[in-house]
Amino acid sequence: MSPRRLIALLVPPLLVSCTGSGDPEAVRSDVVRDTAEAGTVAGGATGGSAPPDTSATGASDPPSAEGSTPAGSGGAGEGSLDWAPCEEQGPLVELECATLRVPFDHDDPDGEQIDIAVARVDSADDDSRIGSLVFNPGGPGGSGIEFLQQVTAVVSADVAAAFDLVSFDPRGVGSSTSLDCDVDLDDEITLLPDGDDDAWDRLLTESEQQLASCTAETLELAEVVGTNAAARDLELLRAALGDDGLSYVGYSYGTRLGAAYAELFPGAVRAMVLDGAVKPTDDFSELSAGQAEGFDRALENFAAACDGDADCVLSELGPTLEVLDSVRSEIAAEGSFATDDPDRVLTPGELDLGVLSALYSKQAWPFLAQALLLAETGADGSLFQVLVDNYVGRRLDGTYDNSQVANGFINCADDAERPAPDEVRAESDAAADTSEWFGDLLRASTGCLGLPAPDDPIVVGPATGAPPILVVGSTGDPATPYEWSEELAQVLDSGVLYTVEAEGHTAYGSIECVGEVVDAYLLDLEVPAEGASCSDNVTADFFVPSGESEIDLVVELFACLRENGLDIPEVSLADVLADPAGEELGEYLDPTDPAFAEAVAGCTELLGRLQEP
């Protein structure tokens, strides 16, 4: 979730009103956003619209599931794709969409085919064009189609000139042939106390009911949604794009997909950036244990930064971790907190997931502090509810994307083990026992119970024969701990580790010091020296004074427009955070309305501040 993403949506119509020129490229250079948030790899939560960061990560304006891709498509291996403008467009650049047909089962290439939704920004300059640069935002379950609009605000002008920017929804995800189960996660985030046998039995029953809600087509597709199959789809996409070698940037789970591709097709790799690496293992339980430690470390880093900065809104309440303990105790006693939606409440499980979600990005730290402040002083769960909704893929209309469903099925298609329920519980308990702060949340994992063992579990590395592969690891990464990047770089024969001293999940596009190194690799195949690193923590200012954050300025702008006569509702911080794609807020900005133009004329100072880098 990125304030700059929303600002990119709000500023162009305001510029039209003020200057008569609404050229999105005029503000493109001012847009800096986080990489997508990518949800917990092992914990079963993600989203292309995920909060901090995806992978996951705010959502862009994706094509709709129906009619978003043009009729007709490039067949697998044909060397071309039939591109046409996507049905829905964002504010920065025009996206083109196409459909790639790939085998349902790669062991039967001439059998049943499924659809892979693909999008691109045709930005490369003819004189400097290298080819296509393919992105995966993570998850698993994150939509590359949704992510692509955001990519244009991440990459440098040199990279945009050299590559067409491309992404896709992997099989099972989003606008591709997708997995479909009934999902309603509101108030359904479970905390499982240690030793609570009845709660475990209820959790098993709920898991069975959830699986029973999936369509028959979904259960059939679930057998072939593993990462190896997605990597083979990626190879067909490379051929259809007409590139001799794949240039690729994968975040979080996207590192897993990239590493699998390199193992299967080492000679087809041109350049590969694996940012925020997933541990190179097919054992689901190992991922859970590693993340337990990563999120604890991130929470403690957040607390230390807040305690040491007078600009943190919790500075006068007391030590941050004590505030969190107090909030947890109160919500446990009360059962829930009210939110600004009279039909919804925040539960204890949602509170913990909201804390965890905000740790994905340093840009979200101020909102976590604000959420704790509201909860502690007024039992108000509104901001936490927004953090949870973005994390689990809840849309403004109350429906959910399929990122949660895809996350579980894809992870389980990669894991060869199918332990019995008692063993699954023991593994979840073991992971939970390694966490001081999120044990009850991690304990409520039923793993892959109920799903058949896969025919094609993931194999990562060594990718013998591949050219140098750049692995980027951040020391404060909560979801894919830095040690995992070290391990992946060691497993890959040609892996080169670049270390980033920074907080948050993934680095390229959100941590300034990383950009030049990654760009040199993508453009000129220039690999950093062994042991190379950079630091964001030395200069990072994690908390700005109250009222001066970019989202605070958006709230202030809407208040200013109201004061100057525009008939729009009051907008709160929670409203802005809940609408990172600007779907509802943007409807109020009509440059053709004379009243709008008059209101903007009284808010030019705020508009100027919003345009500042």
What residues are annotated to the active site?
252, 477, 505
How far is Cα 392 from Cα 535, in angstroms, rounded to an integer? 31
CB 291 within 8 A of CB 258: no
CB 111 within 8 A of CB 104: yes
**Continuous segment of H or E residues that includes residue 346:** strand 345-346
Q: 227-241 and 403-414 are packed helices; what angle lies between their axes, rounded to 10 degrees?
A: 110
Q: What is the DSSP letter of 398?
A: S
How far is Cα 269 from Cα 258, in angstroms, rounded to an integer? 10
CB 256 within 8 A of CB 407: no
How far is Cα 137 from Cα 35, in angstroms, rounded to an integer? 8
Which amino acid is it at 54?
A: T
CB 109 within 8 A of CB 75: no
SS3 category, 15: helix
- Of 192, 193, 195, 260, nearest to 232 by C-alpha is 260
SS3 category, 471: strand
SS3 category, 454: coil
**Continuous segment of H or E residues that includes residue 269:** strand 269-275
How far is Cα 66 from Cα 53, in angstroms, rounded to an integer? 28
How far is Cα 437 from Cα 424, in angstroms, rounded to an integer? 21
If you search the block for the tokens 């109201």, which residue do you land on? 562
**Continuous segment of H or E residues that includes residue 433:** helix 421-433
CB 42 within 8 A of CB 438: no
**Continuous segment of H or E residues that includes residue 204:** helix 197-212
